[in-house]
Amino acid sequence: MKPVAILFLSILISGYATAQPLRITNLADSVYIVTTWHELESGMFPSNSMYVLTNEGAILIDSPWDTTQIIPLIDSITIRHNTSVIFCLATHSHADRTGGFRMFNEIGVPTYSTQMTKQLCIQNNEGIAQNTFVNDTTFEIGGVYFETFYPGHGHAPDNIVVWFPRWEILYGGCFIKSVESNNLGYTGDADLVSWAVGVEKVRKRYRKPSYIITGHQDWMSEKSLKHTLALLKKGK
């Protein structure tokens, strides 16, 4: 795995105070991992999203969980890269992925999700995507190709993963657990049996990813798919 550059933003950006640190990690050329923290009963917990620079603008995969970080993130992208966010895709319906949809919709950033995710967001009174698509869809934006893949009901009924072939990056979101995690986390909407089957599908489809980006905690390990499967086999 190649070394990465990390930038912490915990200062005022364009007049907005960041409640918690906003960490931006340069993973590869044009690819950045965004980490914010959300307060839970157990303390502050990290959540990951990702943006990719294209010839047309930046595409964002998942919204920051801490919505106070959305404007600072957009401002940071504008300042650092002289471009704007033109696309935001959520990988499932939980608030740590779709929490920023209402704000993105208000400020004119196009939002995307699967049709299933939109229906679940409506049921849960969450913000919804302006645009929907069927599962296993290939996108091309500003010269960057990526595909979504639905492995089946796992962490959530609608969870998808995203594959960026140019960099061999597998963005797993909450479907893939970090090796830092010793349990499966929230399983209120999960199907553990189907989840394990889905992990195997993903392993067979994307055999040698250079990076596997997990929805939470550390994402630097290439063993997170195996770790997720091990947690599922333990049922914890």
- pTM value is 0.91
**Residue boundaries of the structural domains of the chain:** 5-234
Angle between helices 224-234 and 192-205 (to 10 degrees): 160
How many CB atoms are closer than 10 A to CB 199?
25
The CATH number that domain 5-234 falls under is 3.60.15.10
Cα–Cα distance for residue pair 215/208, rounded to 1 Å:
19
Task: Enter the DSSP assignment of 233.
Answer: H
Q: Which H/E stretch holds residue 45?
A: strand 43-53
| pLDDT tens readout for residues 2-25 | 545 545 443 333 334 445 679 999
Specify whether the CB–CB gap between 47 and 65 falls below 8 A.
yes
185-203 pLDDT, tens digit per residue, is 999 999 999 999 999 999 9
3-state secondary structure at position 4? coil
Residue 213 forms beta bridges with which residues?
A: 171
Instruction: Report yes or no: 25 and 6 within 8 Å, Cβ to Cβ.
Output: yes
